[in-house]
Amino acid sequence: MFKRIIFIGLGGAGQRHLRIFKQNTPQETELIGYRSTSKTPVLNPDFTVNKQDSLEKLYGVTIYSDLEGALDHKPDLAIISTPSSMHMDYVKFFLSKGISVFVEKPLSNSLANFDEIKSLIASNNVTFQVGFQRRFHPQLSKINDLLKSGVIGRISNVILTVASYIPFWHPYEDFRDLYACRKDLGGGVLLTEIHEFDLCIWYFGSPKSVTCLGGTYSQVGMDVEDTARVVLDYGDFLVQVNLTFWQKHAERSISISAEDGYLFWSQDDNALVEEYYNGREKIVSNISNYTNDMMFDLQSKSVLSGLSKSESEQNLIDSNLSLSIVLAAKRSMDEDRKVFLSEIF
């Protein structure tokens, strides 16, 4: 168990990690925060503004505006929740000091430094994990188990859809200031919703090529894509990933068609449908009262329990692969052509 945890960045994502890690650590665990701007107010769990409390009072965290002062506490785990373009510098910094790292997705907005990070993980007694919390969703995890079992047979078609309306995300601030809406901070719907590409890697492995159409359709001055239609070619089947953060009706779903069965999940009712053709059987399982915090809770426990060196290295490989898919999609969109993953990764 880690004794001293430093939180780098305490915006919306960082405050959620602070709250959940606090719940899952012993009382004697020391919590340290580093904030360069303190732009985001104190937030409640539902992301409304808490005007009565401070982060120090709520969570017993000691917050610094200078990193050296925070490092005087000698943390052994760093939780990095800065904008995406800043992730890699902090990752390298802490790993080089022998401090384990948990970093928000995506690992970066560039594939640079992969070999250096891999070397730092291998040579230091550290653990490493990127925040792909959807792997900890019980229904999405069950889909992975079913796919690995081969029970639905040969895959024929897959569709993943994620849609949201980014002005609704953080009502306490102008959405155009969010990292997701700014190219210089590593934004865009492809990087922001990289979770779905991570799921594809988890479920199916690496695709052969990527084709993408998309762009900025919101006409509100963003310099990143807000909508993308991505096709991953696995040779024997295709995966279509539909992404937008300019749709007021929130939507998240997965459908997987195969020779012997069909799987479907939607966040609307959190129900997983399993349909098996051979036995003409249909199973619908629902997890009532499910909240997104439950994924983050399981994720934090996995971080705190410590990963093996091989698990940390595999996490890095998968994270780079998902980033490679995003970069291939961006190149495909820019150059209007199919991009083979071997061109990127």
| Assigned token pair, 200 | 């594809």
Domains of the chain, earliest start first: 4-132 (3.40.50.720), 134-343 (3.30.360.10)
Q: Which residues pair with 231 in a beta bridge?
A: 211, 240
**Mean pLDDT across the stretch 169-198?**
93
Q: What is the pLDDT of residue 345?
A: 77
Q: Are strands 281-286 and 271-276 parallel, antiparallel or unpaired?
A: antiparallel
Q: What is the pLDDT of residue 134?
A: 98
pLDDT digits (tens, 9 = 90+) for 275-292: 999 887 899 999 988 999
| Assigned token pair, 204 | 């199916």
Q: Provide the percentage of residues in the chain whose pLDDT is more than 90.
A: 91
Q: Which residue has the tokens 């937030």?
A: 43
Q: What is the pLDDT of residue 279?
A: 82
- Cα–Cα nearest to 99, from 181, 177, 7: 7
At residue 139, the 3 state secondary structure works out as helix
Burial class of residue 142 (count of CB atoms within 10 Å of its CB; 0-12, 13-18, 19+) = middle
Q: What is the identity of the amino acid at 130?
A: V
Task: Report pTM.
Answer: 0.96
Q: Taking all residues of the chain, what is their mean pLDDT, rounded to a whole number? A: 95
**Mean pLDDT across the stretch 167-193?**
92
Backbone φ and ψ for 79, nearest 5 degrees, come out as -105, 110
**Mean pLDDT across the stretch 152-176?**
94
Number of Cβ within a 10 Å radius of residue 115: 8
pLDDT digits (tens, 9 = 90+) for 226-246: 999 999 999 999 999 999 999
Strands annotated E in 18-111: 30-34, 62-64, 77-80, 100-104
**Neighbouring C-alpha atoms within 13 Å toward the C-beta of 83:** 17
Checking if the pLDDT of 106 tops 80, the result is: yes
Angle made by CA atoms 255, 257, 263, in degrees to the nearest 5: 50
**Mean pLDDT across the stretch 96-110?**
96
Q: What is the pLDDT of residue 281?
A: 87
